[in-house]
């Protein structure tokens, strides 16, 4: 193998092993922060895109925990998943996106955990977690989800 072929491979490996920059961490955490702010303001401010952002955070946090990053907090991540499922069910029944105080508390804890994870994961770990979530969703949508996998589809009105 010559040096020319090693340099791109080395650069890719170095990037995968590197920590996220402050700007990358902020960009990763912003959608969840915006969503919880909207949720606290009530049903007139919370929208489907906010719920989807929080669901994405929960899914990636779960995948990062499976990689060993804040894995001791897996039960808290599952509690946030349950809270988000309840919010979704409420919206389907009433047409309103709104959270109860206990649901907001579970989501707040999720966002704190995700912040810890983002501050401690590498680019490669975050990419692997996101890739894992995409694969699970793709498989579940195709009818091949693992037992217990639930995909909530948010449909926007035409």
Return the number of other C-beta atoms located less than 10 Å from residue 73's C-beta.
Answer: 19
**Among residues of the chain, what percentage have pLDDT more than 70?**
84
Q: How far is CA 134 from CA 50, 129, 140, in A?
A: 19, 9, 10
**92 domain residue, yes or no:** yes
Our count of domains for the chain comes to 1
Residue 29 burial (10 A CB sphere; 0-12, 13-18, 19+): middle
**155 domain residue, yes or no:** no
Query: CA 41 to CA 78: how far, in whole Å?
Result: 24
**149 domain residue, yes or no:** no
Judged by DSSP in three states, 79 sits in: helix
Query: CA 114 to CA 106: how far, in whole Å?
Result: 12
Specify the pLDDT at position 52. Answer: 94
Judged by DSSP in three states, 19 sits in: strand
Query: CA 111 to CA 116: how far, in whole Å?
Result: 9
Specify the pLDDT at position 12. Answer: 63
Element (H, E) at 53: helix 48-66
Specify the pLDDT at position 158. Answer: 30
**18 domain residue, yes or no:** no
Q: What does each of the 158 residues of the chain score in pLDDT, given as a tens digit? A: 565 566 767 666 666 567 889 999 999 999 999 999 999 987 678 999 999 999 999 999 999 999 999 999 999 999 999 999 999 999 999 999 999 999 999 999 999 999 999 999 999 999 999 999 999 888 888 888 777 777 776 654 43
Domain that holds residue 76: 23-141
Contact status, residue 43 vs residue 96, Cβ threshold 8 Å: yes
**146 domain residue, yes or no:** no
Q: Residues 79-99, buried b or exposed e (16+ Cβ, 10 A)?
A: bbbebbeebbebbeeeeebbb
pLDDT tens-digit map of 113-143: 999 999 999 999 999 999 999 998 888 888 8
């Amino acid at each position: 193998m010559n040096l020319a072929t090693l340099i791109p491979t080395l650069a890719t490996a170095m990037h995968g092993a590197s920590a996220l920059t402050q700007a990358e961490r902020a960009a990763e955490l912003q959608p969840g922060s915006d969503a919880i702010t909207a949720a606290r303001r009530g049903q007139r401010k919370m929208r489907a895109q906010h719920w989807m952002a929080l669901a994405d955070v929960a899914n990636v946090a779960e995948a990062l925990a499976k990689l060993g990053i804040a894995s001791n907090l897996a039960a808290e991540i599952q509690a946030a998943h349950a809270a988000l499922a309840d919010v979704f069910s409420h919206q389907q029944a009433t047409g309103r996106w709104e959270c109860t105080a206990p649901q907001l508390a579970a989501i707040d804890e999720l966002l704190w955990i995700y912040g810890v994870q983002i501050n401690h994961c590498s680019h490669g770990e975050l990419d692997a977690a996101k890739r894992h979530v995409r694969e699970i969703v793709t498989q579940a949508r195709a009818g091949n989800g693992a037992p217990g996998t639930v995909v909530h589809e948010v449909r926007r009105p035409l």
